[in-house]
Amino acid sequence: MTSSTRTPTEELSATAGRHLLLNMTPNGSFGQGGQDLFVVRSGEGPYVDDADGRRYIDGLSGLYCCQLGYSYAPEFADAAARQLRELCFSPLWSASAHPTAIELSERLARIAPVDIEHTFFSGGGAEAVETAWKIARRYHALRGDSTRTKAISRRGAYHGLTLGALSLTDDPGLREPYGPGAIETRFVSNTNRFGLAPECADDDVYTARLLAELEAAILAEGPETIALLIAEPVQNRGGCITPPQGYWPGLRTLADRYGFLLVADEVITAFGRLGEWFGGDCYAARPDLVTVAKGITAGYAPMGATLVSSKVTEVINRPGAVLNHGYTFAGHPLSAAIALRSLEIMERDRILDNVRDQQGHLATRMAALTDLPLVGDVRGAGFFYACELVGDLEGGGFSDRARADLVADLVPRRLREAGLLARVYNRAAPLVQIAPPLISDRALLDRIADILTDTLTEASARL
């Protein structure tokens, strides 16, 4: 095909195939002679347009980033221009700082969980997680606890792909190609009760069971060897897994009893995704460290951050103690200015109130999907939901045919054709997930639910 007869998507895919390596992508399958990429050219409100001009509801907010959708560019451009005119760059390094990062750290302390006053900035989620690990190690070492070299994480959890964060990520396919992990990590159960014994439907019973398992793991490893436990308020991987009541307070109790630090990985759940500034606020979490990224700038600039409680800073800020850790672009003035403007807009436009007002309706619409034969479970909170699909085999598994026809083909294809970007995970337990922009109104949430219903109804009929 000559370049003049190619669509913009074909043209861009061919160029990408020659020059661009994508994340988590079989790069050799795209470009000239291969499949086309999905090329997003522009965005407006909660919608994005592809390179050929087709419009989609961005049911995933970018990748859980674009809390405000795509139409606040003029305000962000103004914030960016002001900042760049004043100061394009200055590092937060060797006792040097700039006013915008200082202001942002103060602003974050105002909305952070109680006892959290300090922030260490970074470039994204994995860097924030690595920072949490290093701060935890510094904390323990400065207290004379240098045997605390292990982490506890949860099955199926994703905490990023840099080598340290990867150690905390429970996905052998992602970890094994890179050899032994940088951090010795013990994985314990997450809080997914779908398919478990009926008594696990009771929060008290299930929480007690999870905490007993965790305590046994701590004792087996040796409590004096555990530096931290990391968990998301609602675990993304495995499909928006919410905790039972009492779980986070139970984690706090065990962290205090055995002396390790509790890290809430809020890379997805912070900044309104669950209707609060921090997802942990929905579950009475009292973490020592909180990792954030993605929604901190609503996707208008890259940034990560690790929020640190006073209990920890009282130790790591002891006179003479140096925090030997850093990133050149940590707290970049441009990203900091954008984050500040985003927090301002979220407050001014009552974005959290929108999630709080709409979340009950979304929950009802999503729960109705369990009437469909293909949908085994629906879980989530706020503007963050997943359906776990069950197949044609005894016990809910998928035959190769049903997996190939429905999970790998029909469901993702129909969602796309209907104009909805949602995430379809073709894993042992297949999932369809949504995380719409937090500006979505009821009509848009209904449209998303209608598309999911139509698609999963058609797929159910073919089961």
Ligand X SMILES: Cc1ncc(COP(=O)(O)O)c(C=O)c1O
- The number of beta carbons lying within 10 Å of the beta carbon of residue 324 is 7
Residue closer to ligand X, measured from CB, 209 or 294: 294
Give the C-alpha separation, 226 to 128, whole Å.
19
Measured from each CB, the residue nearest to ligand X is: 125
Please state, as a whole number, how many other Cβ atoms lie within 10 Å of the Cβ of residue 302. 18
Segment interacting with ligand X, rule: CB under 6 A, options 122-130, 146-154, 382-390, 425-433: 122-130
Site track 235-264 with ligand X (rule: CB under 6 A), x = hit: -x----------------------------
Kindly tell me which of 160 and 436 has the beta carbon lying closer to ligand X: 160
Contact region for ligand X (CB under 6 A) — 10-18, 32-40, 121-129, 334-342? 121-129
**8 Å CB contact between 188 and 217:** yes
Looking up tokens 């974005």 gives 351
- Choose between 402 and 431: whose C-beta lies nearer to ligand X: 431
CB of 203 to ligand X, least distance (A): 23
With binding defined as CB under 6 A, does residue 125 bind ligand X?
Answer: yes
Contact between 130 and ligand X (CB under 6 A)?
A: no
Q: Are 258 and 333 in contact (CB under 8 A)?
A: no
Distance CA 218, CA 231 (A): 15
- Does position 232 interact with ligand X (CB under 6 A)? The reply is yes
Closer CB to ligand X, residue 268 or residue 334? 268
Judged by CB under 6 A, does residue 268 bind ligand X?
yes
Range 404-433 burial, b when 16+ CB lie within 10 A, else e: ebbbeebbbebbbebebbbbbbbeebbbbb
148 touches ligand X by CB under 6 A: no
Q: Which window, 85-93, 154-162, 346-354, 423-431, contacts ligand X (CB under 6 A)?
A: 154-162
> Where in 291-330 is the site for ligand X (CB under 6 A)?
293
Considering only residues 31, 160, 333, 437, which one is a binding residue for ligand X as defined by CB under 6 A? 160
Q: Does 170 bind ligand X (CB under 6 A)?
A: no
Nearer to ligand X, 236 or 358 (CB): 236
Sign of the alpha-carbon dihedral angle for 348, 350, 351, 352: positive
* Paired sense of beta strands 55-58 and 47-50, if any: antiparallel
Q: Which residues, numbered 337-376, are part of the site for ligand X (CB under 6 A)? A: none
Least Å from the CB of residue 335 to ligand X: 13
| Listed residue (22, 44, 61) closest to 420, CA to CA | 61
**Among the listed residues 134, 138, 140, 159, the single contact to ligand X using CB under 6 A:** 159
Nearer to ligand X, 112 or 200 (CB): 112
- Min CB(81)–ligand X separation in Å: 26
CB of 463 to ligand X, least distance (A): 31
Residue 158 binds to ligand X (criterion: CB under 6 A): yes
269/359 with CB nearer ligand X: 269
Based on CB atoms, which residue is closest to ligand X, 226 or 290? 290
Q: Does 62 bind ligand X (CB under 6 A)?
A: no
List the one residue out of 322, 323, 368 whose CA is nearest residue 132: 323
Binding span for ligand X by CB under 6 A among 124-132, 133-141, 176-184, 417-425 = 124-132
CB of 106 to ligand X, least distance (A): 24
The CB-of-371 to ligand X minimum distance in angstroms stands at 30
384 binds ligand X (CB under 6 A): no
Least distance to ligand X, CB of residue 367, Å: 24
Q: Where do contacts with ligand X occur on this chain (CB under 6 A)?
A: 124-126, 129, 158-160, 232, 236, 265, 267-268, 293
